[in-house]
Structure 1
């Protein structure tokens, strides 16, 4: 079967996908698009691809699929145009940053014969996959609480070279919750029914940047699971971009916190009982890995070229399999919006003082 021909949009984050495409097999990058003519020309020359600075010309090239790695506000509209042109779409997160674009994206995906997939790579982290398999095996019992945190000091990305604000500097970054929320929804198999959010006012570090310093989202899923997510792109602190916690009737999990910590679990069917006078003890999560994710542990070295462990490698393999008709799309437009819409609704909630907001089901649009 011939390789899937990719065009990559946005050559900052997009360069990671170029590397993974070259490593995964079955994919060839034949076209690159960026508004920076010098950047796209240099990148294209390096891999023997065509360079474009016009999006319509780029979509007219001989490509089967596009990887959208442009700034967040462009994702939905670029995906809609690509789907209309018959190109499969693998879009960086988030799927959209407002409800109008989200609705338009659903309409475009329904109207197109091409595939849409959200590239939520944190869902593909080895640790998340291990937790999913433990949950599916019933090891946690009934899950009733989950937590995620994305704490990433991005103050160095607030301004362009000319001093203007970047999308991070001017964006309402509650929408950027998918790295924390997506894995929780993947593990539980649920979607968010309602969200209440609190925002810490902005302007604490630079008066030119007024977007909130932090958002705290509290959510309830359709199955009654309580979820809490903290999104913070501002606070000066060590990064912690993949913290999760789970609590069930038969088990508990907490991710590593840094400074020598490790991820850990307590599972009632394997470890000592949890008693008031003899509290349960944590055990290394890694002890479960060889039993539940052996193929992940055997990933080749080149699987790590995407920058987030092996996550981009497994994500792209799934997308390629879907494009070849070998499987369904794992994070289609509806699942992708399940990950995205709570963040959009959280902005409305925060403006209303934290009042709960019902999160729409995009399947009903």
Structure 2
């Protein structure tokens, strides 16, 4: 057995043992350990995460895989710019299965998956079967069966899997987590979140690699970057297509899968107008794409019920003109926080019927992760969140500890999408939410956000 296999076996055995522990980091990482990581998908999102990997002294980016030569070239140029050795590359032959050759190289401790959504599940399954730890961009899968397949593969192989949901590490979100655990809001009753983001210039462009956002109304084969693949989901599907930004923090606040679980779900969708109107406005009524038909409702509203009696409301709103907002609201018996107005009201501490500015509360309840790593996170993508999510994956893997956003979190949050599609297709029916922990939620303990490691 070669050195790479020995090290990976060491990491996997440690991860399986650490999975039975209550808190991460109980097993100390060997001094000076350096992980060999690969990346599948070096597009716009992949390059953001790649930069965080290349900045680290405890990571060697050993391999990159992408079937788009433009994006692969940009990723290599980024390594050159940061003075790091060029990784081995796969996919120059445009073979969609090139990632399997990378995994079969037996030279990796872990892999970051940042490809189009439909590839996440098969790539994660292949990586875990090859005993390569997975850090997967959202979402975990497309169909409900995808989610069971990813879950069962992780459980059968013991290979670490983390969903790279960066919003869980947002500065105010983590401060609110500390406030929830300190009882500031009392007993939680209702929460809200979502993905409310004008993506029209993401879903359409001119096809010019130099301008991946906007500048035209092409998509599919004539588009570039996300317009090449993401827009097709708006054509074919109608549901909560991107739930994890909103549900991730809400699930952590309510201890989903760890003493609580989702029990019921339903979804409603409005008519679809925004994407067609954008094509007409930017490309003209005679543009061929003006004839395209879109299934995705402009605003999709999903409601979840939990075992402990909270309700959670999610909204997906990406096809209409609007400023960006995730629309968080955390409401309990003693008060509430809302991110849209940067406001908080706590009974007995706030003036009656008036909002307090959240900044003073955030400073008071600043999470230890931000106290410790704010300087290192400066300049990282999404206001520093991308530093923290990559840091969490790397540190947990080095420590052979449970992933802070683990396989059960990944499939539970991501399965909201196919369930919402089913609800809408069946006339907005309320559905039972599957228990991916198979009863384990009753005894599993929270680990996310308890210390300053990850």
Q: State the TM-score, normalizing by the size of structure 1.
A: 0.90
Q: Greater share of strand residues, 1 or 2?
A: 1
- For 2:247, which of 157, 161, 181 is the aligned residue? 181
Q: SS in structure 1 opposite 2:429? A: coil
Shift of 1:341: 1.5
- For 1:26, which of 58, 61, 73 is the aligned residue? 58
CA contact (8 A) 1:16 1:305 kept: no
1:308-327 mapped onto 2 (5 Å cutoff): 308-327=382-401
- For 2:264, which of 161, 183, 194 is the aligned residue? 194
- For 1:224, which of 298, 304, 309 is the aligned residue? 309
Shift of 1:264: 1.4
Match of 2:437 in 1: 363
Distance in 2 (CA, whole Å) between partners of 1:76 and 1:185 is: 22
Structure 2 residue 213 is the aligned partner of structure 1 residue 168: no
Structure 2: any 5+ residue segments left out of the alignment? 1-31, 80-85, 92-97, 204-218, 277-290, 440-454
Structure 1: any 5+ residue segments left out of the alignment? 257-261, 273-278
| Cα offsets for 1:28-51 (capped at 9, x unmatched) | 212111111343144225421111
Match of 1:111 in 2: 156
Distance in 2 (CA, whole Å) between partners of 1:60 and 1:305 is: 35
Distance in 2 (CA, whole Å) between partners of 1:270 and 1:32 is: 53
CA contact (8 A) 2:240 2:421 kept: yes
Match of 2:214 in 1: none
Shift of 1:93: 0.5
Q: SS in structure 2 opposite 1:247? A: strand
Match of 2:167 in 1: 122
Shift of 1:82: 0.6
CA contact (8 A) 1:169 1:211 kept: no
Shift of 1:315: 1.8
Q: Closer, same or farther in 2 for the Cα pair 1:298/1:283, shift >3 Å?
A: farther
Shift of 1:305: 4.2
| Cα offsets for 1:269-327 (capped at 9, x unmatched) | 5333xxxxxx4211121112233226414534441444212222222222122212353
**CA RMSD of the aligned region, Å?**
2.1
Select between 55-64 and 70-79 the one with higher mean Cα deviation: 55-64
Match of 2:34 in 1: 3
Match of 2:76 in 1: 44
| Cα offsets for 1:170-190 (capped at 9, x unmatched) | 213513111011111111212
Aligned length: 353
1:1-365 mapped onto 2 (5 Å cutoff): 1-12=32-43, 13-47=45-79, 48-53=86-91, 54-61=98-105, 62-158=107-203, 159-160=219-220, 162=222, 166-171=228-233, 172=237, 174-190=240-256, 191-202=261-272, 204-206=274-276, 207-212=291-296, 213-240=298-325, 242-256=326-340, 262-272=341-351, 279-293=352-366, 295=368, 296-297=370-371, 299-364=373-438
Shift of 1:333: 0.9
CA contact (8 A) 1:24 1:313 kept: no
CA contact (8 A) 1:17 1:306 kept: no
CA contact (8 A) 1:44 1:50 kept: no
Distance in 1 (CA, whole Å) between partners of 2:348 and 2:411 is: 35
Q: SS in structure 1 opposite 2:55? A: helix
| Cα offsets for 1:115-154 (capped at 9, x unmatched) | 0011111111111111111000011001111111311222
Select between 173-182 and 305-314 the one with higher mean Cα deviation: 305-314
State the structure with more CA Rg: 2
